[in-house]
């Protein structure tokens, strides 16, 4: 029996890394602000948004550079003491309609509106929603496909631009890594628990136990324990007593997974803090690695959505360009996942993945696979408020199932779960 560990952005956040999309956009505003320093024009623009100084309403012609330095225009804003300065500078520009004109692309407007109203944003979901609205305009009974294709082309260019900036940001944001103690490593390499298994999983776990009980020598067992980075004595000491039936307590060594894959949905390498040398090659960057921009997959992956079939049938150029399941074919990582889940029964550990719709296709393949016997979510707990997100996480997990009875059988109940990071 094996173990599949899903690593999501919450894993990085639990390590104090500012890897949320909201932090990324705040960084983007800082870069725009820094860009004013050497900008001697009255228009600052990129593919996402533009800011223009209304010089016809000023006595002297201004540039972004003179505003930033010569007149200390921005230094009067009280937000300069905050961690993120750029967003407050930009906010002041947007509000000052007498002296500035601001234009946002529809895509970027959705992103910033989500951050302003909710405090967070899922860029991939915003992309997918806008893609659908472009592809199926409700206001036009006979839409112009050329016009739609042009909109989608621009949208794809903006997503590509954001992807490039995101990788640049993550490289800066993840320079200083530190582990969070042994709780995470212990959870990854913990022996299986019968109470975590589905009914069918309990029977398969018994088979797993019998296999290791019936081994003629302990050589293979010792090798497996060594691969996990455990010391031999605490795990091996009960084995002799068990084999001689002098103890009814199952040795933890017998209940260790035979193999582990780390299915890393992040572009970062934080999980390497906890992977033993033997399992280094098991870190499967399903969406690519920040060390290789060409490997990055950034888009949508919800083929269970009713509108996805319509997109496939629309034959609109560019509308399937950022489908994750299609992009998976550019690398062997997806095939590695399929090979792993086909090879033996497996337990899923969820560490920091929100299980949202942007990865729904892949998660459905994993969660409803015949070999999946347990799905154990590690949740986030807010110690100050005395709250946690277990229920929210389970709701998201359920959306990746088409069979709710199967979901209830496989997801581990809260009494058997724990926070990703202990207090």
pLDDT tens, residue by residue, 296-355: 999 999 888 989 999 999 889 999 999 999 999 999 999 999 999 999 999 999 999 999
Q: Which two tokens stand for residue 121?
A: 């944003």
How much is the pTM? 0.92
In a domain, 114, yes or no: yes
Q: What does DSSP assign to residue 359?
A: G
User: What are the beta bridge partners of residue 43?
Assistant: 52
In a domain, 153, yes or no: yes
CA distance 19 to 268: 9
Per residue in 200-252, pLDDT (tens digit) is 999 999 999 999 888 877 788 888 888 887 765 656 666 777 767 666 778 88
**3-class DSSP state of 374:** strand
In a domain, 423, yes or no: no
Give the per-residue pLDDT at 114.
Answer: 96
Q: Among 318, 255, 310, 351, which Cα is nearest to 13's?
A: 351
Q: Among 415, 358, 350, which Cα is nearest to 21's?
A: 358
Hey, CA dihedral for 245, 250, 253, 255, is it positive or negative?
Answer: positive
Pair 211, 319 in one domain: no
In a domain, 282, yes or no: yes
Range of the domain at 198: 194-255
Among the candidates 213, 228, 255, a domain finishes at 255
Pair 344, 282 in one domain: yes
At 157, give phi and psi (nearest 5°): -65, -40
User: What are the beta bridge partners of residue 143?
Assistant: none
Pair 43, 67 in one domain: yes
Pair 54, 90 in one domain: yes
What total number of domains does the chain contain?
A: 3
Pair 411, 281 in one domain: yes
In a domain, 352, yes or no: yes
Binning pLDDT at 50, 70 and 90, where does residue 195 land? very high
Binning pLDDT at 50, 70 and 90, where does residue 253 land? confident
Q: Given a cut of 70, is residue 84 above it in pLDDT? A: no
Binning pLDDT at 50, 70 and 90, where does residue 137 land? confident
Q: Among 319, 323, 278, 332, which Cα is nearest to 303's?
A: 323
First to last CA, the chain: 31
Q: Which two tokens stand for residue 294?
A: 């060409």
Q: Please list, in sequence order, all residues whose beta carbon lies within 8 angstroms of the beta carbon of residue 233, skipping any fewer than 6 positions away.
A: none
Burial (CB < 10 A; 0-12, 13-18, 19+), residue 344, is middle
Pair 156, 237 in one domain: no
Radius of gyration of the chain (CA): 26
Q: Among 263, 178, 257, which Cα is nearest to 7's?
A: 263
Pair 279, 354 in one domain: yes
Mean pLDDT of 282-287: 96
CA distance 349 to 188: 8
Helix axes 21-35, 86-95, angle to 10 degrees: 70
Pair 407, 262 in one domain: yes
DSSP codes joined into one string, 256-292: S-S-EEEEE-SSS-GGGGT--GGGGGGEEETT--TT-
Pair 134, 180 in one domain: no
């Amino acid at each position: 029996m094996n173990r599949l560990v899903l690593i999501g952005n919450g894993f990085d956040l639990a390590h104090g890394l500012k890897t949320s999309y909201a932090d990324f956009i705040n960084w983007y505003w800082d870069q725009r602000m820094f860009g004013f320093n050497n900008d001697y024009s009255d228009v600052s623009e990129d593919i996402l948004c533009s800011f223009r100084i209304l010089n016809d309403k000023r006595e002297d012609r201004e540039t972004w550079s003179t505003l930033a330095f010569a007149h200390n225009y921005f230094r009067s804003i009280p937000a300069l003491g905050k961690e993120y300065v750029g967003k407050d500078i930009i906010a002041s520009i947007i509000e000052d309609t007498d002296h500035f004109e601001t234009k946002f692309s529809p895509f970027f407007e959705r992103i910033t509106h989500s951050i302003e109203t909710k405090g967070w944003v899922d860029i991939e979901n915003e992309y997918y929603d806008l893609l659908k609205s472009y592809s199926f305009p409700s206001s036009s009974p006979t839409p112009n496909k050329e016009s739609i294709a042009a909109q989608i082309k621009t949208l794809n260019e903006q997503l590509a631009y954001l992807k490039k900036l995101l990788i640049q940001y993550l490289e800066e944001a993840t320079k200083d890594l530190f582990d969070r103690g042994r709780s995470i490593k212990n959870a990854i390499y913990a022996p299986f628990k019968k109470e975590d298994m589905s009914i069918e999983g309990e029977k398969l776990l018994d088979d797993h136990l019998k296999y290791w009980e019936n081994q003629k020598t302990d050589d293979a067992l010792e090798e497996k324990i060594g691969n996990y980075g455990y010391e031999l004595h605490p795990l091996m000491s009960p084995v002799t007593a068990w084999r001689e039936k002098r103890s009814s307590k199952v040795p933890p060594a017998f209940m260790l997974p035979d193999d582990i894959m780390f299915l890393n949905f992040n572009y970062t390498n934080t999980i390497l803090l906890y992977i033993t040398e033997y399992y280094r090659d098991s870190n499967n960057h399903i969406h690519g690695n920040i060390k290789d921009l060409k490997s990055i997959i950034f888009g949508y992956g919800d083929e269970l959505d009713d509108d996805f079939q319509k997109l496939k049938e629309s034959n609109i150029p560019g509308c399937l360009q950022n489908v994750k399941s299609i992009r998976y074919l550019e690398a062997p990582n997806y095939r590695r996942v399929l090979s792993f889940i086909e090879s033996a029964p497996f337990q899923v550990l969820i560490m920091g993945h929100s299980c949202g719709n942007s990865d729904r296709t892949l998660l459905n393949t994993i969660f409803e696979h015949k070999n999946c016997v347990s799905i154990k979510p590690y949740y986030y707990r807010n110690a100050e408020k005395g709250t946690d997100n277990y229920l929210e996480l389970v709701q998201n997990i359920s959306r990746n199932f088409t069979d709710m009875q199967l979901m209830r059988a496989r997801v581990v109940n809260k009494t058997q779960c724990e926070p990703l990071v202990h207090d």
